[in-house]
Amino acid sequence: MGSQSKELFHNHSKEFQLLIKSIGDSKSKSEEDRIVFNQIQTLKTQLTEPNISNRNIKEYIITLLYIEMLGHDASFGYIHAVNITHRDNLKLKRIGYLAVTLFLHDNHDLIILIVNTIQKDLKSDSYVVVCAALNAVCRLINEDTIPAVLPQVVELLGHSKEAVRKKAVMALHRFFQKSPSSVSHLVANFRKRLCDNDPGVMGAALCPLFDLVTVDANSYKDLVVTFVNILKQVVERRLPKNYDYHQMPAPFIQVKLLKILALLGSGDKKASENMYTVLADIIRKSDSSTNIGNAVLYECIRCVASIYPNPMLLEAAADVIANFLKSDNHNLKYMGIDALGRLIKLSLNIAEQHQLAVIDCLEDPDDTMKRKTFELLYKMTKSSNVEVIVDRMIDYMISISDDHYKAYIASRCVELAEQFAPSNHWFIQTINKVFEHAGDVVNIKVAHNLMRLIAEGFGEEDDAKYSQLRSSAVESYLRILGEPKLPSVFLQVICWVLGEYGTADGKYSASYMSGKLCDIAEAYSNDENVKAYAISALMKIYAFEVAAGRKVDMLPECQSLIEELLASHSTDLQQRAHELQALIGLDAQIVETIMPRDASCIGIEVDKDLSFLNGYVQQSIEKGAQPYIPEDVRTGMENMSSFRSQDQQEPLQHGLRFEAYEIPKPPMQSKVAPVSFAFSTDIASVPKALYSRETHHVSSMGSASEAGSSELKLQLDGVQKKWGKPTYTSSTSSTSYSTSQTPTNGTAKVDDPTAVNSKVRDSYDSRKAHVEISPEKQKLAASLFGGSTKPEKRSSTSHKVPKASASAADRSQGSKTAGVPDELAMERKIHHPPPDLLDLGESTVSTGPPPVDPFQQLEELLDPSISSTTNHNTGAVTNTLDIMTLYAETTASGHSGSGGYSIPVSGDNLDLLYELSNAAIGVASAETIATPLPQSVKFSNAKDSVQKDAFVRQMGVNPSRNLFRDLLG
């Protein structure tokens, strides 16, 4: 053994030395565990012996520490470490405090046992004991025990020993971190400690002040001069030599002061002017040959970038960055790239001086350096270099396998393409590359945004460019379909674009497009979302063909796909297949009304309150139906008996009631048919069709013969269940649809300060003079840093609404859409900030003419002979046939007086949609052009789905939802 090892083991027993040696000589983890397990058993026996000597107990505690360090449980000895903190022996007390600070945490159950000992030791005459107690205070005192020791800690701030004052400041700082409210009245003590004679105490006070300045910088603006004076004294080497580290004067105090000054000088010109001189002295005097010197320089550059900018300091900081980038040390290069990214926010000219160095870092094999360089390029991107930067980022994204960072790079590429895209074609091609190579990790909002941009365009006024954009997207997606494996999100975008615009320009036939879509559905048969998008795209293609008067020739593979989806386990796919099957069997006029071409940009007004059902609801209530019960009441938040009688409202009581029970009343004899049940007089009778759909059933009802008897029965209707979720009778229900709105991101511009001296560029170029620069690298540098130095952002203040059919255009006239020239001119005058193309929120709700009654339009579709005219330009509707009125006026014989067809009314059937469908079948006219498919057994009515779809589309709701069934029960 060497002399140090002999000194280490001199005061320990032979057993302890053998333990250390045997663990060090272990050949495997199992052997080490066996030795430690045997030692634990030995310690459990030794610690229970009476009258253990001071030397032995100290060795036992150290052994426990060693066992814990090896990852084993030594909790059986914690109490013994707490006990020796009560000893008067100085060595044992220090060992005890060291052990408990390592063994316990601030919420441990044994903490309460040492609070009294800490209180006593904080008043000790030995400053060594006081320091040991303060160390334990910083680690073990929690929020509940702070008041017990706070007075003693505050008193120690004036102790004669600087070590005690320093540890008292640290303890008070710890109290502030755990419970700011408990020491909020003592923060002035941190200000006083800045004037302490000992630099160590002053340096300890900087840490809590940094936390306070981070929370509220304005309250400490008056300390700027004090911090600058302290920093100036440190830089001028007025501190003792023992504070130097590698010949740097108190570098850690300098770093903390620079961080505080950066916070105080941010956006404050007056406060920043006091810092300029000392910051220049630090840059001039710091030693760049050592790591600690470079650390101080880097922190100084961060401070310069945070405070109010000064041209001279920016020039000096650029010189330091040039030295960092010229270094062969990767750590210094990384630091230079990071510092350059901070200064580039103030002046883009600084980056142009170091363009060759940036290119070298971009081609560096070190992956961390390359990622940091991409961060710099992201900050310096503009319209003149966006193509080069995004292409390099996509190439790097393809080469990495880290999904997390790949998603990060993909989001940056999309963001840059959205802000600085030079052309629409380049934007679509770039987003396609991102989806193709990173589609599985790209946010789904990007896909929705891409579809919206293709549909609405980028604000072009030329219709030729507008149609060329869509045709270019269709052709690019047809080429991409040849790839072996494509992400699911990207395939959804492809199916949507091919369905909307695949046959728009007439270049590709409907048979060709339908074949491509069937191939997609077959190739990705396990993905239900892709198949759903594919079948919807087929529906659009066939609908456009039928509306144009052309005959639909369905391919055999499409026929087999539809038959397969009709028997699918997915109800969504079944619904889409049924809709497609029914659609191609209708005439051209109905199909054009149901699915107009290019209707994806038409504004949709949603009646969230479903006000068009108010008449039906009121009519049902007058007939005896129960009113709607809110959800909070149904879940038991209000008194359940309040709905049995609206005139008698009782608050919900949780206490005991001592009133006598009310004598039950015999039920009234029912006046309806003998087969119906008998209810109490306070419960309205409900037709059988509605009653069968009630969610709350009375299980105690008897048979028909028992209903009319005078036997007393329990009235359970409306009573909350004792166990399980309470349910209540509800005759109406509503569905609300909400939309999300995302604010548009804005960008801020910072004016460029005075141009930086070009000597850094000359020095860097002279160093590289002997190295021949390849033409490719020169061209890349010119592409990245050439052009205007001011950031340019593509203005996209308007979106052009695609031109749909004439009727769709007339209907949308007067609404606030983006295609009106007058409004475009107003927008240019107002100078709105450029919209975020990734903003997927709902467009501004336009206020237009009153919505057309969907029931009236349904009547037109079902019976064209009905004399009702609609003014599409103004939204006025005349001679509207109210279906609800028709239903109300129906005679008992089931014949309508004005409609020409009957809607039978009975207590057994109130399915309005079913009756409307039967009525529609009786008055349908105009044979369809397309050859209808054979009807499925599961969906016997061929026009039912399409008629409901027309209702839904007029209301702006997803057609896959059965809306009327939800609304009318």
Quick: pLDDT tens for 937-954: 344 454 666 666 666 566
Question: Which of 90-99, 550-559, 666-675, 794-803 bottoms out in mean pLDDT, i.e. has the lowest?
Answer: 794-803
In three-state secondary structure terms, 562 is helix
Mean pLDDT of the chain: 74
Residue in 579, 484, 563 with CA at minimum distance from that of residue 524: 484
Highest mean pLDDT pick, 258-262, 645-649, 798-802:
258-262
Task: Looking at 187-250, list the stretches that DSSP marks H as alpha helix, in order from N- to C-terminal side.
Answer: 188-193, 199-215, 224-235
Instruction: Tell me: pLDDT of 868 over 60.
Output: no
89 Cβ contact partners less than 8 Å away, ≥ 6 residues apart:
54
Instruction: Tell me: pLDDT of 705 over 80.
Output: no
Distances (CA, A) of 239 to 202, 234, 659, 720, 941: 12, 6, 86, 79, 95
pLDDT value, residue 122? 95
**pLDDT tens digit sequence for 296-328:** 999 999 999 999 999 999 999 999 999 999 888
In three-state secondary structure terms, 244 is strand
Question: pLDDT band at residue 241, thresholds of 50, 70 and 90?
Answer: very high
CA–CA separation, 777 and 755 (whole Å): 25
Instruction: Tell me: pLDDT of 665 over 60.
Output: yes
Query: How are beta strands 248-249 and 869-870 bridged, if at all?
Result: unpaired
**pLDDT tens digit sequence for 823-834:** 444 444 444 444
Distances (CA, A) of 275 to 154, 219, 229, 272: 33, 18, 10, 5
Highest mean pLDDT pick, 555-569, 748-762, 883-897:
555-569
Whether the CA torsion 352, 353, 354, 355 is positive or negative: it is: positive
Question: pLDDT band at residue 5, thresholds of 50, 70 and 90?
Answer: very low
pLDDT value, residue 880? 41
Instruction: Look up residue 771 and give its two tokens.
Output: 């190295």
Distances (CA, A) of 722 to 641, 773, 916: 15, 85, 42
Instruction: Tell me: pLDDT of 146 over 70.
Output: yes
CA–CA separation, 963 and 968 (whole Å): 9
pLDDT value, residue 134? 95
Question: pLDDT band at residue 870, thresholds of 50, 70 and 90?
Answer: very low
Q: What mean pLDDT comes out for the span 745-764? A: 42
CA–CA separation, 393 and 409 (whole Å): 7
**pLDDT tens digit sequence for 472-513:** 888 888 888 877 788 888 899 999 999 988 888 788 888 888
Residue in 355, 336, 345, 388 with CA at minimum distance from that of residue 785: 355
pLDDT value, residue 689? 40
CA–CA separation, 430 and 724 (whole Å): 55
pLDDT value, residue 450? 83
Question: pLDDT band at residue 14, thresholds of 50, 70 and 90?
Answer: confident
Which long-range CB contacts under 8 A does 448-451 form with residues at least 24 apart? Answer: 448/840, 449/837, 449/838, 449/839, 449/840, 450/493, 451/493, 451/496, 451/497
Which long-range CB contacts under 8 A does 656-664 form with residues at least 24 apart? Answer: 664/712
CA–CA separation, 384 and 375 (whole Å): 18
**pLDDT tens digit sequence for 173-190:** 999 999 999 888 898 999
Highest mean pLDDT pick, 425-439, 585-599, 789-803, 805-819:
425-439
pLDDT value, residue 178? 92
Question: In this structure, how many other beta carbons lie within 10 angstroms of the beta carbon of residue 722?
Answer: 6
Q: What mean pLDDT comes out for the span 4-9? A: 44
In three-state secondary structure terms, 177 is helix
DSSP category for residue 870 = E
User: What is the pTM for the complete model shown?
Assistant: 0.58
Instruction: Look up residue 6 and give its two tokens.
Output: 């002999």
Higher-pLDDT residue of 431, 779: 431
CA–CA separation, 960 and 245 (whole Å): 72
Question: pLDDT band at residue 804, thresholds of 50, 70 and 90?
Answer: very low
CA–CA separation, 844 and 835 (whole Å): 13
**pLDDT tens digit sequence for 546-603:** 888 888 788 888 889 988 998 889 999 999 999 888 888 888 888 888 888 777 666 6
Q: Kindly report the length of the chain.
A: 969
Q: Are 853 and 871 in contact (CB under 8 A)?
A: no
Instruction: Tell me: pLDDT of 437 over 70.
Output: yes
Question: pLDDT band at residue 441, thresholds of 50, 70 and 90?
Answer: confident
The DSSP-derived string for 748-799 is ------SPPPTHHHHHHHHHTTTSPPPHHHHHHHHHHH-S-SS---------
Instruction: Tell me: pLDDT of 683 over 50.
Output: no
Q: Are 493 and 520 in contact (CB under 8 A)?
A: no
Q: At what angle do helices 775-785 and 355-362 cross, to 10 degrees?
A: 110
Residue in 41, 47, 117 with CA at minimum distance from that of residue 79: 47
817 Cβ contact partners less than 8 Å away, ≥ 6 residues apart:
603, 801, 846
DSSP category for residue 869 = E
Question: pLDDT band at residue 13, thresholds of 50, 70 and 90?
Answer: confident
Instruction: Tell me: pLDDT of 859 over 60.
Output: no
pLDDT value, residue 428? 84
Instruction: Look up residue 601 and give its two tokens.
Output: 């940009």
Residue in 326, 269, 331, 275 with CA at minimum distance from that of residue 302: 275
Residue 867 has phi, psi (to 5 degrees) of: -85, 80
